[in-house]
């Protein structure tokens, strides 16, 4: 039986093993690899400016979250360096050397173990204090002056209603900079999650329940949002935009949305309107004065939106025609049926929809 | 010393180093697990209490006298179970078989009462699994309990038949004891369900 | 010799199908786990290939959704858990000085039920309705209204079957550990792997009932029209989430504790000193098991539970990080002052410590609900759980595989190939999952089959995909190692690592009865004590005397039985009847009852000479 050193089974292995596992050349190689990784990470730094980034907050909610995130990040970085450093140090310092005696059989050190346990608990509880403060701060009841937006998550598009303003739209939610908005979130079908990363954290949209998300956007811009709870086949395609207007411009947008639909004089658009009125489209979509369906998005001011179909595509004639002709092809599982609109019909419908500014 | 323990273990593979029988210990752990099972079902029932949108409510349909009688049946059957075990320990096999029969019979009566109850709810009161949250949670909770009772009745019946055929005696005490543990558990769960579902307004 | 007469009269295959020997059952679990691990890995590679480029069309949305559902379900239930089970089965009796588990036939039954559940879930692929509701199957997407095909049914029923298997195994191992330890092995003298497994078994038997109920409610909704998860009738989809996560959080401890137990065995052996603060590590394991039932809603911070619930679960989660985290310091303390031999088993344990630390740190971030609202359901949390489940559990399990392989197979694995496996896996793993932290921070949600090119996600996705291919390569190296050494590897002998615990005191592979003479235990590191004394100047403990043929003849080996296999088949027939016909349910049910009866009666009034 082996007491110290390799036992019988090991001896025949030593010929194939390098002499020392932790050697200067190995240490250099590891440092080189680490260096490359650090370099690669810093290259990735420019990617922080993604339209869906969470680390460039543009609202109060986002900033408060980011502050705690930075606090926890630095804390964990310190712990990381200490622990991983300690591990690597042990591996280097206490590596087996030929002829080394059996180490002292230490069973533990109770005061040390208690100390590090308590220290760790204290650090975590300290992180808990700003956490709880922000939890309560971000879940207060909405104020009367907040802009109320009712959000409905459907498979696979977002509906936005402004109850105080009599506006209903889809895929793009418009907000005024500097005013607190209280999103009231509902789900007519399954669970979704409402998330605009640049403006803060997400909140689930749960059937038979109204959740709230309150935030104040602090910088104008177009921000990307996406559903963040798996909700079926086209979950990946359930995107939206949040457009935050500078002072004064939001009211202009509201006025345009409250206006009746544009009556286009274009022949093709008028043809499209006629086709629309006679097709199954009217069963799902609302165009004020034309149809009253509530299953699909409200199309009254469709062309005022830069994207459509769950913000999956830019609002262009080509995209719109492709969508009308075969929704399922553009968006797998789409609940909008293929009504067999092709050629001139789809062109006319597209022209009509694009006239609804 | 080690040798002595080794040969002792060979004689009785079911006896462990704590002096407890493996099977008895295993049954206790199973019952702990089953507690979590019924706990989750009761939790579901409680979270949906008062939340049904339509359909008859609990106190529109419950027949408290009948279910009290059923509860008494189960309680009595637990007593019979204890008697069966005592008789078995005294090697009075026919008496043990009788008390096993009594336990199983009262258990069967309980199940039949429950079948009657379910039938009246469904046919006379318009309460089924799909009527409302109350219907769903009530039938699933009490139904799974009833299934546990049914399983117990089958088990006890088999033990009774074995006893009558001379294939069960004092040596099988632990086997009957664990059936008894199961039976008492099923009884206790009924006390909980009866109180929470039927009695509390 | 006992047991061999029965084996000789049956074919080799039949002997495996009817085995009740815990060692063979362990090998069955381990081989099955590895095959399903490869399947889950292929599912992952396909997903990574799809996500390598934006707007990619390698697989359809539906296929991708099936892939992530099956990858998660497979890795958790069909790979990591059975890998752990293979070690519970093979090693626990050896570590406690026992000859088998408390209920050998029940043990075999657990395996065959596991296999039927595993095949059942995967059967969906064959019928074109692979599960596609996510591994967590949230209601009410899982209802018949929104998931009309049988995809959810394969998942739901398969998981129920697997749950039975796990719970039966839990009852078995709890009784085994309490009731079958060698003389002198008090609870505090149990090896750490035994302790961590012990806590795991309690988690299994107490957590699985919650998911059993969740699945029963779903089954009743889908098959019998109940309204548990039906919002239109007032049902709350969050009921599913609560029940699921009351199971789900203890489940993650089920997944990690055995690996922690392995690491706690490997480090002392290769550092040549005892585990630093073993009582503390044991106590931490117990705390984790206990408090693991109190943190489940940290998976639900975004559902709107309200600030009080959010805060309570946040504090509980921060606190549970304490026992989880200080173990790392105990492991480093084990290395400190040691004489570390960098063999393959140790490398994987070191990888475990390094990677699990990182996963634990991202976990601390998730424990803060405001921060979690940005991170949950993004690739940040995907990175977190892969660091703890792959970097943790898989590295730990492979440490165990390399450590105990010589004991199980009698031959050493090739050390050079082992090191190649380790380094490729470590590099590939970090390359795959570290960038996913970035992807989460720049807004990439989970469970999406594709993404737009203007989001800046393509670079790290491509890096991650390349990393996943390196992981795959590392497993090719492992397979080559296994094939190469299976027949012609260096014989290991009983104690190739200069081990500390009882399993190294018997031959490799062990005889069917494990210990010829039941050992007497004086210390957690009993075998080390026998070899070296207590390290404080005391004499070595006395070794057991040599075994005589009479000793071996007196050992009772449980005979093989076909009832576990047949009963498992009956259960499968009954459950699958839900997808076929009521008639099949009834026939399967009666068959199940019949098999249960025969199983129970098999050793009632055995032949003379076998005692009870």
Give CA separation, C256 vs C173, C290, C417, C476, in Å: 17, 15, 26, 25
Q: Tell which residue, C292, C318, C316, C313, has the closest CA to residue C303.
A: C313
Structure-model confidence comparison of residues C4 and A177, the more confident one:
A177
Chain segment B93-137, per-residue pLDDT in tens: 999 999 999 999 999 999 999 999 999 999 999 999 999 999 999
CB atoms within 10 A of CB A110: 11
Mean pLDDT of chain C: 94
CATH of the domain at A148: 2.60.40.420
Q: Based on the domain organization, do C498 and C611 belong to the same domain?
A: no
Chain segment C352-378, per-residue pLDDT in tens: 999 999 999 999 999 999 999 999 999
Taking the alpha carbons at both ends of chain A, their separation in whole angstroms is 87
Q: Based on the domain organization, do C555 and C599 belong to the same domain?
A: no
Chain segment C568-612, per-residue pLDDT in tens: 999 999 999 999 999 999 999 999 999 999 999 999 886 554 444
Q: Based on the domain organization, do A201 and A271 belong to the same domain?
A: no
Whether C225 and B25 lie within 8 Å, measured CB to CB: no
Whether C175 and B25 lie within 8 Å, measured CB to CB: yes
Count of B-C CB contacts under 8 Å: 146
How many whole angstroms separate alpha carbon C457 and alpha carbon C438? 9
How far, rounded to the nearest angstrom, does the alpha carbon of residue C343 sit from its chain's CA centroid? 24
Q: What is the pLDDT of residue B13?
A: 81
Please tell me the distance in Å from C476's CA to the nearest CA on chain B: 41
Q: Based on the domain organization, do A190 and A276 belong to the same domain?
A: no
How many whole angstroms separate alpha carbon A310 and alpha carbon C300? 25
Cβ-based contacts of C415 with chain A (< 8 Å):
13, 16-17
Q: Based on the domain organization, do C591 and C547 belong to the same domain?
A: no
A36 contacts chain C (CB < 8 A): no
pLDDT band at C541 (very low <50, low <70, confident <90, very high): low
Chain C interface, best mutation among A14, A83, A184, A241, by max C CB count within 10 A: A83
What is the reported pTM?
Answer: 0.94
Domain total in chain B:
1
Q: Based on the domain organization, do A198 and A310 belong to the same domain?
A: no
Q: Based on the domain organization, do A328 and A180 belong to the same domain?
A: no
In this structure, is residue C12 part of a structural domain? no
Structure-model confidence comparison of residues B153 and A2, the more confident one:
B153
Q: What is the pLDDT of residue C4?
A: 62
Point out the domain boundary residue: A177, A206, A241. A241
Q: Based on the domain organization, do C213 and C261 belong to the same domain?
A: yes
Chain segment C300-326, per-residue pLDDT in tens: 999 999 999 999 999 999 999 999 989
Catalytic residues of C, by residue number, are 71, 100, 135, 165-166, 249, 251, 253, 264, 298-299, 324, 327, 446
Q: Based on the domain organization, do A192 and A335 belong to the same domain?
A: no
Tokens of C339: 């004489």
Q: What is the pLDDT of residue C548?
A: 87
In this structure, is residue B1 part of a structural domain? no
Q: What is the pLDDT of residue C9?
A: 58
CATH of the domain at B182: 1.20.120.80
How many whole angstroms separate alpha carbon C40 and alpha carbon C389? 14
In this structure, is residue C6 part of a structural domain? no
Whether C140 and A132 lie within 8 Å, measured CB to CB: no
Q: What is the pLDDT of residue C300?
A: 97
How many whole angstroms separate alpha carbon C524 and alpha carbon C192? 9
Chain B interface, best mutation among C179, C222, C502, C546, by max B CB count within 10 A: C179
Percentage of chain A with pLDDT > 90? 80
In this structure, is residue B6 part of a structural domain? no
Whether C179 and B20 lie within 8 Å, measured CB to CB: yes
Q: Based on the domain organization, do A82 and A164 belong to the same domain?
A: yes
Domain total in chain C:
2
How many whole angstroms separate alpha carbon A211 and alpha carbon C237? 14
In this structure, is residue C1 part of a structural domain? no
Rounded to the nearest 5°, which phi and psi values hold at A124? -65, -40
Structure-model confidence comparison of residues C38 and A265, the more confident one:
C38
Cβ-based contacts of C206 with chain B (< 8 Å):
32-33, 36
Q: Tell me the three-class secondary structure of C421-479, residue by residue.
A: HHHHHHHHHHHHHHHHHHHHHCCCECCCCCCCHHHCCHHHHHHHHHHHHHHHHHHHHHH
The domain in which residue C41 lies consists of 19-559
How many whole angstroms separate alpha carbon A213 and alpha carbon A139? 8
Percentage of chain A with pLDDT > 70? 89
pLDDT band at C533 (very low <50, low <70, confident <90, very high): confident
Q: Based on the domain organization, do C474 and C608 belong to the same domain?
A: no
How many whole angstroms separate alpha carbon C287 and alpha carbon A64? 33
Whether A224 and C443 lie within 8 Å, measured CB to CB: yes
Q: What is the pLDDT of residue A12?
A: 39
Q: What is the pLDDT of residue A342?
A: 87
Residues present in chain C in total: 612
Whether C337 and A233 lie within 8 Å, measured CB to CB: no
Q: What is the pLDDT of residue B137?
A: 97
Question: Alpha helix (H) ranges present in chain A?
Answer: 8-14, 24-43, 60-93, 110-138, 249-258, 267-278, 281-284, 317-325, 327-330, 343-355
How many whole angstroms separate alpha carbon C398 and alpha carbon C352? 10
Domain total in chain A:
2
Q: What is the pLDDT of residue C7?
A: 55
Q: Based on the domain organization, do A27 and A118 belong to the same domain?
A: yes
Please tell me the distance in Å from C228's CA to the nearest CA on chain B: 6
What is the full per-residue pLDDT of chain A (357 aa) written as tens digits?
A: 333 344 444 443 444 444 567 676 676 667 777 777 766 665 555 557 899 999 999 999 999 999 999 999 999 999 999 999 999 999 999 999 888 888 999 999 999 999 999 999 999 989 999 999 999 999 999 999 999 999 999 999 999 999 989 999 999 999 999 999 999 999 999 999 999 999 999 999 999 899 999 999 999 999 999 999 999 999 999 999 999 999 899 999 999 999 999 999 999 999 999 999 999 999 999 999 999 999 999 999 999 999 999 999 999 999 999 999 999 999 999 999 999 988 899 999 999 999 999
Q: Based on the domain organization, do A118 and A185 belong to the same domain?
A: yes
Q: Does the pLDDT at position C8 exceed 90?
A: no
In this structure, is residue B72 part of a structural domain? yes
Residue C577 DSSP label: G
Chain C interface, best mutation among B11, B42, B44, B165, by max C CB count within 10 A: B44
Chain segment B55-78, per-residue pLDDT in tens: 999 989 999 999 999 999 999 999
Q: Based on the domain organization, do A332 and A198 belong to the same domain?
A: no
Pairing between β-strand A147-154 and β-strand A211-215 as defined by DSSP bridges:
unpaired
| Closest chain A residue to C447, measured at CA | A230
The domain in which residue A346 lies consists of 267-355
Chain segment A30-73, per-residue pLDDT in tens: 777 777 776 666 555 555 789 999 999 999 999 999 999 999 99
Q: ipTM for the complex?
A: 0.94
The domain in which residue B44 lies consists of 21-199
Q: Based on the domain organization, do C247 and C370 belong to the same domain?
A: yes
How many whole angstroms separate alpha carbon A206 and alpha carbon A212? 11
Q: Based on the domain organization, do C350 and C401 belong to the same domain?
A: yes
Q: Based on the domain organization, do A79 and A182 belong to the same domain?
A: yes
């Amino acid at each position: 039986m082996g007491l110290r050193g390799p036992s019988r089974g090991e001896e025949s292995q030593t010929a194939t093993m390098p002499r020392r596992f932790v050697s200067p050349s190995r240490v250099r190689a590891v440092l080189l690899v680490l260096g490359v990784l650090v370099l690669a990470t810093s290259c990735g730094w420019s990617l922080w400016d993604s339209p869906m980034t969470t680390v460039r907050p543009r609202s109060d909610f986002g900033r408060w979250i980011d502050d705690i995130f930075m606090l926890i990040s630095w804390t964990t970085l310190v712990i990381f360096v200490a622990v991983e450093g300690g591990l690597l140090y042990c591996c280097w310092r206490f590596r087996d050397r030929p002829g080394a005696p059996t180490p002292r059989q230490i069973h533990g050190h109770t005061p040390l173990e208690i100390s590090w346990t308590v220290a760790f608990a204290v650090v975590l509880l300290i992180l808990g204090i700003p956490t709880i403060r922000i939890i309560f701060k971000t879940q207060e009841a909405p104020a009367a002056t907040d802009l109320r937006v009712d959000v409905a998550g459907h498979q696979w598009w977002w509906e936005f209603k402004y109850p105080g303003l009599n506006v209903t739209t889809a895929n793009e939610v418009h907000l005024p900079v500097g005013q607190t908005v209280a999103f009231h979130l509902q789900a007519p079908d399954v669970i979704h999650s409402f998330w605009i990363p640049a403006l803060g954290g997400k909140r689930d949209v749960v059937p038979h329940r109204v959740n709230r998300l309150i935030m104040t956007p602090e910088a104008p811009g177009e921000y990307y949002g996406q559903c963040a709870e798996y909700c079926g086949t086209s979950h990946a395609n359930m995107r939206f935009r949040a457009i935050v207007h500078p002072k004064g411009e939001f009211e202009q947008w509201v006025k345009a949305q409250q206006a009746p639909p544009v009556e286009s004089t274009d022949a093709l658009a008028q043809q499209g309107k006629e086709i629309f009125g006679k097709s199954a489209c009217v069963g799902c979509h609302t165009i004020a004065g034309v149809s009253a369906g509530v299953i699909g998005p409200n199309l009254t001011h469709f062309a005022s939106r830069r994207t459509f179909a769950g913000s999956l595509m830019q609002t262009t004639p080509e995209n719109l025609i492709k969508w009308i002709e075969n929704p399922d092809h553009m968006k797998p599982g789409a609940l909008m049926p293929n009504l067999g609109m092709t050629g001139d019909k789809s062109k006319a419908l597209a022209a009509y929809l694009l006239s609804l500014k | 010393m080690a040798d002595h323990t080794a040969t002792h273990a060979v004689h009785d593979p079911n006896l462990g180093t704590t002096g407890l029988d493996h099977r008895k210990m295993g049954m206790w752990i199973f019952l702990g697990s089953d507690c979590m099972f019924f706990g989750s079902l009761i939790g579901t029932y409680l979270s949906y209490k008062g939340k049904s949108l339509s359909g008859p409510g609990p106190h529109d349909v419950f027949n408290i006298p009948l279910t009290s009688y059923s509860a008494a049946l189960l309680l009595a059957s637990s007593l019979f179970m204890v008697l069966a075990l005592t008789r078995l320990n005294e090697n009075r096999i026919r008496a043990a078989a009788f008390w096993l029969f009594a336990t199983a019979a009262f258990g069967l009566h309980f199940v039949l009462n429950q079948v009657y109850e379910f039938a009246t709810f469904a046919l006379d009161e318009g309460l089924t699994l799909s009527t409302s949250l109350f219907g769903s949670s009530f039938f699933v909770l009490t139904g799974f309990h009833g299934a546990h009772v049914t399983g117990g009745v089958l088990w006890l019946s088999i033990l009774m038949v074995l006893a009558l055929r001379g294939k069960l005696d004092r040596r099988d005490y632990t086997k009957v004891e664990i059936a008894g543990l199961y039976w008492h558990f099923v009884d206790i769960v009924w006390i909980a369900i009866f109180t929470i579902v039927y009695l509390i307004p | 010799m006992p047991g061999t007469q029965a084996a000789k009269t049956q074919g080799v295959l039949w002997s495996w199908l009817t085995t009740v020997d815990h060692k063979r059952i362990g090998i069955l679990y381990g081989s099955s786990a590895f095959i399903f691990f490869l399947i889950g890995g292929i599912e992952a590679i396909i997903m990574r290939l799809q996500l390598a480029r934006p707007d990619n069309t390698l697989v359809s949305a539906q296929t991708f959704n099936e892939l992530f559902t099956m990858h998660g379900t497979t890795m958790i239930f069909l790979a990591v858990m059975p890998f752990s089970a293979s070690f519970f089965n093979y090693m626990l009796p050896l570590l406690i000085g026992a000859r088998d588990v408390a209920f050998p036939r029940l043990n075999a039954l657990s395996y065959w039920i596991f296999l039927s559940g595993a095949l059942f879930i995967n059967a969906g692929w064959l019928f074109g309705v692979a599960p596609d509701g996510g591994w967590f199957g949230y209601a009410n997407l899982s209802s018949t209204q929104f998931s009309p095909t049988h995809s959810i049914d394969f998942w739901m029923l398969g998981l129920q079957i697997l749950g039975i298997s796990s719970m039966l195994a839990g009852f078995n191992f709890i009784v085994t550990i309490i009731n079958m330890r060698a003389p002198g092995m008090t609870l505090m003298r149990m090896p750490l792997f035994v302790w961590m497994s012990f806590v795991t078994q309690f988690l299994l038997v107490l957590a699985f009932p919650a998911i059993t109920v969740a699945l029963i409610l779903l089954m009743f909704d889908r098959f019998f029209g109940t309204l548990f998860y039906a919002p239109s009738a007032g049902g709350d989809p969050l009921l599913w989430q609560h029940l699921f996560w009351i199971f789900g959080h203890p489940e993650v401890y089920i997944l990690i504790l055995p690996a922690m137990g392995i690491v706690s065995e490997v480090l002392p052996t290769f550092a040549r000193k005892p585990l630093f603060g073993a009582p503390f590590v044991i106590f931490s394991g117990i705390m984790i098991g206990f408090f693991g039932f109190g943190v489940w809603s940290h998976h639900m911070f975004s559902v709107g539970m309200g600030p009080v619930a959010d805060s309570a679960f946040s504090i509980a989660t921060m606190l549970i990080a304490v026992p989880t985290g200080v173990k790392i310091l105990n492991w480093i303390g084990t290395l400190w002052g040691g004489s570390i031999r960098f063999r393959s088993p140790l490398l994987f344990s070191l990888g475990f410590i390094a990677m699990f630390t990182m996963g634990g740190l991202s976990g601390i971030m998730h424990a803060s609900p405001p921060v979690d609202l940005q991170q949950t359901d993004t690739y940040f949390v995907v990175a977190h759980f892969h660091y703890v489940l792959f970097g943790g559990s898989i590295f730990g399990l492979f440490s165990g595989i390399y450590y105990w392989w010589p004991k199980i197979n009698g031959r050493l694995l090739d050390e050079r190939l082992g090191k190649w496996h380790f380094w490729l896996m470590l590099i590939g793993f970090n390359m795959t999952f570290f960038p996913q932290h970035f992807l989460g921070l720049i807004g990439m949600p989970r469970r999406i089959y594709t993404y737009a090119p203007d989001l800046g996600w393509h670079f790290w996705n491509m890096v991650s995909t390349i990393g996943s291919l390196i992981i795959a390569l590392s497993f090719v190296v492992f397979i080559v190692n296994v094939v190469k050494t299976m027949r012609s590897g260096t014989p290991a002998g009983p104690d190739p690592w200069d081990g500390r615990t009882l399993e190294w005191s018997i031959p490799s592979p062990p005889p069917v009865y494990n210990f010829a003479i039941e050992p007497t235990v004086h210390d957690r590191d009993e075998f080390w004590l026998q070899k070296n004394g207590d390290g404080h100047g005391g004499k070595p403990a006395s070794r057991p005397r040599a075994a005589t043929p009479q000793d071996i003849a007196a050992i009772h080996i449980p005979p093989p039985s076909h009832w576990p296999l047949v009963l498992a088949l009956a259960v499968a027939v009954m459950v699958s009847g839900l997808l076929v016909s009521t008639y099949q349910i009834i026939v399967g049910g009666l068959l199940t009852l019949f098999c249960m009866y025969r199983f129970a009666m098999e050793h009632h009034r055995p032949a003379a000479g076998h005692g009870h």
